[in-house]
Amino acid sequence: MALERRAARLVAAGATMLAMGCSGKWTTHDDGAEMAGGAGGSEGTAQGGDPESAEACTAGEVRCNASGLRETCTSDGAWSVSDFVCARNVAVDDDVGSYCVTKTDGSYRCWGVDPGGTLPAERYRRVQLTRQGLIGLTEDGRLLAASTVLPDGLPPVASFRATNMWGDQGVCPLFVDGSFAVLLDRIEESLPELTDTVMEVEGSFTQALCAWEGLVAGVRPDGSLWQFHGMETIPGEFTQVAFSNRIFCGLTKAGGIQCFEPTITCGSGGITNCAGPEYPEFSGGPYRSITATGGAVCALDAEGALTCRRYDGADMPIDAGRFTFIEGGYDLLCGVRTDGSGACFHHGGWNLGEVGPFVPVEPALDPGW
């Protein structure tokens, strides 16, 4: 990697989390739709056949085709292509409660308090609105930011997440070569031992991400789960990980879900309302995607149906339809529906037993954008 390897002792923060609202305004970038070239790989969108496919269908059925455009089944049982560009993903910021929809043409739209600054006109695969502004991953693997200071010479990036890291903003990119790093924008004077702004994690990953207050975890190529604090490794055949400071869950290759007591910050800093003595169990399946909020774990099954469980295992009914992509944050769950539109939900409460049901976020994501 082009980054200089540094060793730093990272301190787990046990600060009590504060509830975050979603007030703000829309930030829209549509330049991607005007740029030359195809829509690129559409992660998270429902993939149909060729736009001119003669495949039979049921009248009223809606899907997104391989070009990222919405198709609707007509009364004569044929697919009709529209000019509606499907969403690729919805990025949730669990620090400030914002969310951004990125479409398959590289354009994006965000809701939340934007501190200012703009991203260059590019085609983006994922855009996130953080407390320090927009951060975007371009379709050719470059990580760009409106205000956040990023190191020069970053290798090509496969995915990223930005969040609060030990009180400061951090960006956690997973690089195309499987390496993973934590990038800190600034260092608090109260933590002088954190002198480095780049921490490279040993080894390689197939998935890795960070969450609120310095939580870092990932999946190794051998299928084991790794979490930074305690350097604990859980053996298995996992493909995805979802976590907060109160729970740690993995999705297996067979589509099952296993949840564990986290060693990260649970029980420290006054945090005692952790998952347990029961953990959420997911029957049915197989599942193909998992994510976590501050009080729930959610999963998509093979048909796109959404199931959510509170940390103590209690069911959290959510009549949300079918999805192709989901991402959770502090108290937010956002996703992409099979028709290519985005939707967000939030739950009330934080302490175990007080987490309420998911309700739609208002104002709703504009289905016509």
As separate numbers, helices (DSSP H) first and strands (DSSP E) second, the chain gives 0, 28
**Interior CA angle at 68 toward 171 and 52, to 5°?**
165
Q: For the segment 151-187, what is each residue's pLDDT rounded down to a tens digit?
A: 889 999 999 999 988 788 899 999 999 999 999 875 4
142 in Cβ contact with 160 (< 8 Å): no
Residue type, 234: I
Domain-embedded: residue 212: no
Identify which has the larger pLDDT, 46 or 10. 46
28 in Cβ contact with 338 (< 8 Å): no
Looking at beta carbons, which pairs linking 227-231 to residues 24 or more positions away fall under 8 Å? 227/262, 227/263, 227/264, 228/10, 228/201, 228/264, 229/10, 229/12, 229/263, 229/264, 229/265, 230/263, 230/264
Distance CA 353, CA 312 (A): 8
Q: How confident is the model at residue 367 (pLDDT cuts 50, 70, 90)?
A: low
pLDDT over 70 at 95, yes or no: yes
Distance CA 310, CA 259 (A): 12
Distance CA 251, CA 291 (A): 10
Domain-embedded: residue 209: no
91 in Cβ contact with 12 (< 8 Å): no
Identify which has the larger pLDDT, 23 or 362. 362
Identify which has the larger pLDDT, 270 or 68. 68
Q: Indicate the pairing of strand 225-227 with strand 215-219.
A: antiparallel
* 104 shares its domain with 167: yes
Q: What's the token pair of residue 334?
A: 């956002």
Q: What's the token pair of residue 119?
A: 């991203």
Domain-embedded: residue 227: yes
Give every CB contact of residue 212 below 8 A, 6+ residues apart in sequence.
17, 94, 95, 163, 164, 244, 245, 294, 330
What per-residue confidence (pLDDT) applies to 320? 77
Domain CATH code at residue 338: 2.130.10.30
Taking the CA atoms of 47, 219, 347 and 28 in sequence, report the sign of the dihedral they define. Answer: negative
Distance CA 165, CA 144 (A): 19
Domain-embedded: residue 318: yes
What number of other Cβ atoms are within 10 A of residue 342's Cβ?
26
Distance CA 147, CA 130 (A): 10
* 125 shares its domain with 226: no
* 224 shares its domain with 349: yes
Give every CB contact of residue 34 below 8 A, 6+ residues apart in sequence.
none
pLDDT over 90 at 109, yes or no: yes
330 in Cβ contact with 323 (< 8 Å): no
**Interior CA angle at 22 toward 21 and 28, to 5°?**
160
Q: What's the token pair of residue 155?
A: 């290798």
Distance CA 95, CA 93 (A): 5
What per-residue confidence (pLDDT) applies to 262? 63
Average pLDDT, the chain: 80
Domain-embedded: residue 27: no
pLDDT over 50 at 292, yes or no: yes
Q: For the segment 202-256, what is each residue's pLDDT rounded down to a tens digit?
A: 999 999 999 888 889 999 999 999 987 656 788 999 999 999 877 889 999 999 9
* 171 shares its domain with 230: no
pLDDT over 70 at 121, yes or no: yes
Domain span at 64:
42-85
* 186 shares its domain with 226: no
* 173 shares its domain with 307: no
* 286 shares its domain with 229: yes
Q: What's the token pair of residue 66?
A: 């391989």
Among residues 130, 145, 333, the alpha carbon closest in space to that of 244 is found at 333
Distance CA 189, CA 355 (A): 35
* 151 shares its domain with 105: yes
* 249 shares its domain with 285: yes
Residue with structure tokens 């796109």? Answer: 304
Q: For the segment 270-280, what is each residue's pLDDT rounded down to a tens digit?
A: 444 454 546 88
Q: Look up residue 31 and give its DSSP letter.
A: G
Identify which has the larger pLDDT, 321 or 301. 301
Identify which has the larger pLDDT, 168 or 48. 168
What per-residue confidence (pLDDT) applies to 166? 79
Backbone angles phi, psi at 235, to 5 degrees: -70, 155
Distance CA 301, CA 256 (A): 10
* 79 shares its domain with 165: no
Q: Which of 55-59, 85-89, 186-190, 357-361 has the highest mean pLDDT?
A: 85-89
Domain count across the chain: 3
3-state DSSP call for residue 32? helix
